[in-house]
Structure 1
Amino acid sequence: MEEMRKMREKTLCLLLADQGFGVSLSHDVLQNAILNHYDLGGCIMIYKPDKVSKMKGADIIAEYMMKEKIPYMIGYAGHGAIGMLDSFFNKQDDIKIVWPRIETACGFMADAYFRVTKQPLPVYVSTGPGPALSTCAVANAFYDSSAFLQFTGQAPLSQFDTGALQEQYRYHQADFSTAIQPYVKQSYQAVTAGQLSSFLPKAFKLMKTGRPGPVHIEVPYDVYQLEAETVVADPIDWSDSIAWRTGAEDRVIGSILQKLKEAKRPLILAGGGVNHSSAQEQLRVFAETMNIPVITSLMGKSSLPESHPLCLGVNGTWGHYPAVEAARNADIILALGCRFNDLHTATWQPGFAYNFPVTKLIQVDIDASEIARNYPVDVGVVGDIRTVLTQLIDMAQEKQVTGDYTVWHQEIAGYRKEWGDFITPYGQSDADPIDPRRLITDIRKVAPKDAIMFSDVGNNQPWVEQYWTTEVPNTHFTAGGFAAMGFGVVGVLGAKLARPETTCINVCGDGGFMMMPHAVATAVQYNLPCVWIVMNNYAIGAIRDLQKFYYGGRIIGTSFEKYEGRTYHDGELWNPDFAAMARSMGGQGVTVTKPGEIAGAVEHAIQSGLPTVIDVKIDRDITVPLTTTWQMPPIPPALPTFGKIKVR
């Protein structure tokens, strides 16, 4: 009878928690409970312990953020956010409010902050346009396994289904959650203040465990100000105490090592999961222990120093030739946290980037849904990259597992020489207009070794991929799967918030910079001395190149040209004066037109300690060399412009 009573009490606690009373259970003992339950003659009495406090919804949020030791709240105020902001007024010594000039930028900054620190920040926006604009940033984080907590406002509870003040109401009342669900790990709608006590710890648990991703909480205006008797949860009980970094069974670890030992041409593929798992050191040790070369995906770039003798660079459409050629010819590949997307795999066409299943695939990923999504696996392991690598290192060293890959390393040395002979002259080019490859090479020469690079989306991205070498782990970032232009332009601010003493650089195109030019104003306002280097070719270059090569050179809607009446004005190229724009916002602005000016301009920008925009006029007709291919049906795949297809 006693056990039945306890079970009934616990069940009721859980039910009440689901209704917003914020009950916390830990180790099967009710701790920090809001409600205690006693069965008296078939009736249930509920009383509240002394430590329960009467709190407004916004105060619950502020108090929980203090417990999470959140340093920044990033957002943009509106009717649906001021109720929350008021509760942070007296907490500004601990939690600084940062507000860039558009809601999309708020999410981009928080996303970047997480990539650098692995700490999710809260982002707040209002209703209607605010949530809609923020969705792009939420999706960008979701695709790249980054995380932040998105708060959106909503019409007051009493006005649900009236269409009041930007409510999404026609098909379901207060229904922004439907719009954002595909891009978050979970979407909550708090209709009581007490529910926030329950949702907040669960939101941080979801963001911080397993595969990272953003979480959304929708809060009606009045819920921020409504009160509830509650206890604010302790994060230790909800996420910090969860052991989620799972590994593999010893027999599986042994099998992987045996397969690698018997291989003649093994490779390790480091995907973005290596960086997310903070497994860069384990990657280096395992590669050195086994003497196996390492290639990366674009999102895995910086997981191993590119000067390391085992690092071959990035594989993919615009990858480094040694990595591409090694991947084509490997007999087994150990893939760590890589989802094998289209740009990485040459759109899955055999012989271009990979030769699965002729090449055997061992795939390790924290997300089971990614294993064998696009390629069959010889061995699949659901587990945390750092944990699995540690297991592999321990067993390899204990059993002294090694392989003889002498011939393989000799082949790879040939690939390296071919690539070096090809790229080196371009990096030294004195051509006028400026060759993009000279630009990236000179930035790298003068930037500190630990400089954080945020490349934006467009042709600047593969130029950085090929010519920017990373020497320090976790120092290269870009928008991958969702590929949101402008992410790098604003994301560099989030990096500077996270690492104020580190040089933070964004390389972007003129198209991407114009999407988020206000980033300079935010940098000046909050003293974030970032450096923006604009590759100015008066075009959305990546798309213009497709028109040139696949649509008979019919250029439309991709060149920035003067337009008068119904015709373009003699093809005159036009862009704003980006350097003048930066100066008008209180930063520095420099225009570079000659290759000899690059290094000095970048060095001065870094040393000045001021937000600086460097507008570089580049040759708009130089295209990024394809080392594999990419296809967007019905457009046929292009052949590589460097290297050749050799299928074993």
Structure 2
Amino acid sequence: MKVKAVNGLVRLLREEGTDWVCTFPTNIFVNACGEEEMPLLMVRTERFAVAVSDAYGRASNGKKIGVSAVMGGLNAAGTEMAYGALAQAYEDSSPLLCLTDGVPNEATARERFNIEDGFRSVTKWSGYINQGRRVPEFVRRAYTQLRSGRPSPVMLQVPRGLEEYETDEHSYTPVKGWRPAGDPADVEKAVRALLHAKNPMIYAGQGVFFGDACAELKKFADLTGTPVLTTLMGKSCFPENHPLSLGVRDVPAERWLKGSDLVLAIGASLGTTSFGHEVPTKGKTIIHCTIDEQDLNRATRMDHAVVGDAKLVLTQMIAEAEKQGAKPRVGVEVEIAGAKEEKMKKYRPLMESNDKPINPYRVYAEIIETIDPKNSVVTHESGNTRDQLTTVYDAVVEHGVMAWGNVSTLGFGLGAAMGAKLAYPKRQVVSVTGDAGVSYQMGDYEALIRHCMGITTIHINNGGFSGYGPGFWGGGHTPYACEVTKQDVYNTAKMAEALGMHATRIEEPDEIAPSLKDALKENEKGHPAFIEVICSRHPVYGAWVRPPAR
């Protein structure tokens, strides 16, 4: 049977398990999706379309690949707009498929902006389909890249006017993907070193999610009695109410990163980032388990390495630890509990504060008390909402928090929330944004309404952004560009309400919980909600561990 090239591609997407394509028109794929009855999630910007697809892949541990379609070809404005979101997905090692119009064959090498060249640095692989019959080949190659090795975005270009192809002659089988296990000798050395260490710790990253290895991580930690710290993007891969959890930052993280004699990093690149710890190496044994050998000795020196998929390597480590007679360490849980209490002595007064304007930590406390911790996803925006939430919010289920930010682009928080809701439609989803993020998000609130996305957005409105000016915290790092319109002049709740959202503005601390409960009830009806909270500026949160200045 003959099929148009682009329609054939959409059919193959369905074979690969695609449930929808997120898009901002126009592009060659929109009508093909309609003709093939592939649901379209139409949003307001190309960048947001890519962000939703990115977040969906993260929330589903890569089992589902989000697909976005943006305008390309000779008028590549949509592709250019999508660049920032693809760059973030690439930096964060997140898999997604971005589809775009290719430059027509007769115009290649005549255009000024070349899509292939422009996106080579932010995609794992990019393919240009130059013949209709090659559609199955290129889709096969794309999904091989998406499901094997280090997760990253992939781009496919399809020019208009390709000939039809015969599906019987060019058949297709969905790609399963391939994952390597670790070298048994490397596994044996790593486990032996960990079991002989006096004060070891595990540093777990997002690779644990993409390896679908959360259960194996917990089993290995329990078996050996080893504390677990997670990276920002790895937050919630280990339950943070577990007695061996060190969380992400502040006192427990600092104490174990500085005081341990061995660090086992698994599913973490140990690269240089503004939003993570730099693991101290002096006097420590560093074991690095990663799926990508390019991570090894790149930013952090290591003593032992195991190259492989997180699930397979942890399964090997569990078997090897049992073989070597591993027993849980005694007393470490009491030490961790003491470190956690020391941390909370700093933040508990802020979380119980009745001050006005409202302290943002009081907002986080009310979120913790109101939502169902076992059936929810909380995400943040770039900036203080990220830093504050990840300091005090404990995730007790996998993806109970979707934390992000190797590269931290404003507006991604709403995309993260929408992707999480698509992956977990029955969970409560709460997205917290600040003054900078809300302006990036506002246009896409309409998409939430149209697609009946039951998500609550909480705006921490403190009338400022960009690091703030002078205050009790010091001089501030951006004193000349930190002010926005005052809180008594503009009202984001009214803006959201005008778009059709259920919206509330709060100035009293005791109004937070009732308003959040009302918002969640609206969400149950498939209606998005918006809560604006008039807050004080309080840029206090757990620091990232850094080596001493030289």
Does residue 299 of the first structure (1) align with residue 244 of the second (2)? no
Pick from 323, 331, 334: which aligns with 2:264? Answer: 334
Once residues 356 and 233 of structure 1 are traced to their aligned partners in structure 2, the CA distance between those partners, rounded to angstroms, is 52
| Change over 3 Å in CA distance of 1:107–1:381 after alignment to 2 | same
Gaps of 5+ in 1: 1-52, 163-168, 349-353, 562-571, 639-648
Runs of 4+ in 1 over 6 A off after TM superposition: 545-548
Q: Where does 1:185-584 land on structure 2 (aligned, <5 Å)?
A: 185-223=124-162, 226-230=163-167, 231-236=169-174, 239-240=175-176, 242=177, 244-314=178-248, 319-340=249-270, 341-343=272-274, 348=278, 354-402=279-327, 404-406=329-331, 408-449=332-373, 450-542=375-467, 549=474, 555-561=479-485, 576-584=490-498
TM-score, with length taken from structure 1: 0.79
| Change over 3 Å in CA distance of 1:292–1:582 after alignment to 2 | same
> Match of 1:70?
18
Once residues 378 and 542 of structure 2 are traced to their aligned partners in structure 1, the CA distance between those partners, rounded to angstroms, is 23
Q: CA deviation at 1:276?
A: 1.7
- Give the superposed CA RMSD: 2.4
Asked whether the 8 Å contact 2:432–2:460 carries over to 1, the reply is yes
Count of residue correspondences: 539
| Change over 3 Å in CA distance of 1:326–1:309 after alignment to 2 | same
2:265 alignment partner, SS class? strand
Once residues 541 and 503 of structure 2 are traced to their aligned partners in structure 1, the CA distance between those partners, rounded to angstroms, is 31
Once residues 545 and 535 of structure 1 are traced to their aligned partners in structure 2, the CA distance between those partners, rounded to angstroms, is 19
| Change over 3 Å in CA distance of 1:420–1:382 after alignment to 2 | same
> Match of 2:50?
107
Asked whether the 8 Å contact 1:248–1:381 carries over to 2, the reply is yes
Once residues 213 and 155 of structure 1 are traced to their aligned partners in structure 2, the CA distance between those partners, rounded to angstroms, is 24
| Change over 3 Å in CA distance of 1:513–1:64 after alignment to 2 | same
Once residues 107 and 359 of structure 1 are traced to their aligned partners in structure 2, the CA distance between those partners, rounded to angstroms, is 40
Once residues 468 and 531 of structure 1 are traced to their aligned partners in structure 2, the CA distance between those partners, rounded to angstroms, is 17
Q: CA deviation at 1:629?
A: 5.7
Once residues 334 and 416 of structure 2 are traced to their aligned partners in structure 1, the CA distance between those partners, rounded to angstroms, is 40
Once residues 98 and 470 of structure 2 are traced to their aligned partners in structure 1, the CA distance between those partners, rounded to angstroms, is 36
Q: Deviations over 1:586-635 (max 9, x none)?
A: 11110111111111111111122220010111102x1223544669xxxx
Asked whether the 8 Å contact 2:502–2:522 carries over to 1, the reply is no
Q: CA deviation at 1:175?
A: 1.2
> Match of 1:593?
507
Pick from 34, 37, 41: which aligns with 1:89? Answer: 34
Report percent identity of matched pairs: 25
Once residues 637 and 629 of structure 1 are traced to their aligned partners in structure 2, the CA distance between those partners, rounded to angstroms, is 12
Once residues 126 and 438 of structure 1 are traced to their aligned partners in structure 2, the CA distance between those partners, rounded to angstroms, is 43
Once residues 462 and 538 of structure 1 are traced to their aligned partners in structure 2, the CA distance between those partners, rounded to angstroms, is 18
| Change over 3 Å in CA distance of 1:297–1:268 after alignment to 2 | same
| Change over 3 Å in CA distance of 1:190–1:234 after alignment to 2 | closer
> Match of 1:611?
528
> Match of 1:116?
59
Asked whether the 8 Å contact 1:143–1:481 carries over to 2, the reply is yes
Q: CA deviation at 1:558?
A: 2.5
Q: CA deviation at 1:458?
A: 1.0
Once residues 400 and 192 of structure 1 are traced to their aligned partners in structure 2, the CA distance between those partners, rounded to angstroms, is 59
Once residues 303 and 491 of structure 2 are traced to their aligned partners in structure 1, the CA distance between those partners, rounded to angstroms, is 55
Once residues 113 and 465 of structure 1 are traced to their aligned partners in structure 2, the CA distance between those partners, rounded to angstroms, is 20
Asked whether the 8 Å contact 2:133–2:170 carries over to 1, the reply is no
Asked whether the 8 Å contact 2:232–2:404 carries over to 1, the reply is no
TM-score, with length taken from structure 2: 0.92
Q: CA deviation at 1:215?
A: 0.5
Larger Rg: 1
Once residues 263 and 490 of structure 2 are traced to their aligned partners in structure 1, the CA distance between those partners, rounded to angstroms, is 48
| Change over 3 Å in CA distance of 1:535–1:486 after alignment to 2 | same
Q: Deviations over 1:36-80 (max 9, x none)?
A: xxxxxxxxxxxxxxxxx43321122122122113110111112xx
Q: Deviations over 1:332-351 (max 9, x none)?
A: 011111122333555x4xxx
Once residues 274 and 471 of structure 2 are traced to their aligned partners in structure 1, the CA distance between those partners, rounded to angstroms, is 15
> Match of 1:61?
9
Once residues 287 and 126 of structure 2 are traced to their aligned partners in structure 1, the CA distance between those partners, rounded to angstroms, is 34
Q: Which amino acid aligns with 2:218?
A: R
1:613 alignment partner, SS class? strand
Q: CA deviation at 1:412?
A: 3.6
Once residues 528 and 232 of structure 1 are traced to their aligned partners in structure 2, the CA distance between those partners, rounded to angstroms, is 39
Asked whether the 8 Å contact 1:114–1:146 carries over to 2, the reply is yes
